[in-house]
Amino acid sequence: MGQVFNLPLLLQPGFRVSDRAVFIPLLSCFGRIMSEQMLRAYNISVDFSGLRALDQVTLEVESGEIVGLIGPNGSGKTTLVNVLTGHVRPMAGAVTCSDIDITHMTPRNIALQGISRTFQIVRLFSNLTVSENIEAAAISHGCSRRSARRKAGQLLEKFGLERVRDQFANTLSYGDERRVEIARALAGDPKFLLLDEPAAGMNETESESLLELLACLPSEQKLGMLIIDHDMGLMMRLSHRLHVLASGKTIGEGSVEYVRKLPQVIEAYLGSDGNGR
């Protein structure tokens, strides 16, 4: 049996840690606890027909945070999300979720590990109603029909979609399609939500409404979020951290204020004034 630590004793003011044999394993124990809810990509490299799409990219997303993944077109953002969700196999590197190696899992099994995503091109079931689309996602994650219907109702209300709940998906406006896809991604109660251009095609009012919804999700749903979008105003205001790719390589990462001032980021993506103009 492993060594048992008396945590109340260790927290007493008079207790002094002088034995590394006790202290180091304790730190290791805490480290494992703190790292349980984290999605990690380590040194990911991907080639497409000899073209290096990703080159030793490392990225982490913790539960409760929003990480913005930005970069010019063709920089490898969607490819990285495809690696994280099992749609592309890396030629080198590894992906873990809550310390479980998911690098070679199928997209279905990765979804069951608690990783959900949306796509650049909306992928709804056109022959199902809005409510049925969300219910189907919940059922696929093990919910009963009754529980799925209840969960769909909650998500429809949260995303302002009750007015279209009985409409077929192929009759929706583009903005509503986007909201339905995000609601459907949440139906499985994911640990991590990966959104690929969720605000694409939305007007300013729709984007602002979406920002307010997304900002609350990490705390309300107890999840981590990775977002790709070209709406830099949304990304700067929504993200807790930014990770920047260019030509398949990481060129900057850190807080929004730190990243937006990096010369290599300004040159590659944001524009000369650091605000995307």
pLDDT tens-digit series, residues 75-88: 999 999 999 999 99
pLDDT at 2 over 50: no
pLDDT at 16 over 50: no
Contact at 8 Å (CB) between 194 and 81? yes
Q: What is the pTM of this model?
A: 0.81
- At residue 115, the 3 state secondary structure works out as strand
Write the CA distances from 61 to 65, 66, 121, 192, 205, integer angstroms: 7, 8, 24, 8, 28
Closest CA to 187 of 111, 84, 83: 111
Contact at 8 Å (CB) between 68 and 234? no
What's the pLDDT tens digit per position in 158-209? Answer: 999 999 999 999 999 888 999 999 999 999 999 999 999 998 888 888 888 8
Tell me what pLDDT residue 232 has: 84
What's the pLDDT tens digit per position in 116-128? Answer: 999 887 889 989 9
Can you point out the beta strands (E) in 31-130?
38-48, 51-62, 66-70, 92-97, 100-101, 115-117
pLDDT at 15 over 70: no
Tell me what pLDDT residue 269 has: 61
Q: Which pair of structure tokens corresponds to residue 271?
A: 């524009």
- Rounded distance, CA 248 to CA 53, Å? 5
Tell me the pLDDT of the chain averaged across its residues.
85
Tell me what pLDDT residue 271 has: 56
Does an H or E element contain 228, and which? strand 224-228
Q: If you average pLDDT over residues 16-43, what whole number do you get?
A: 57
Tell me what pLDDT residue 37 has: 87
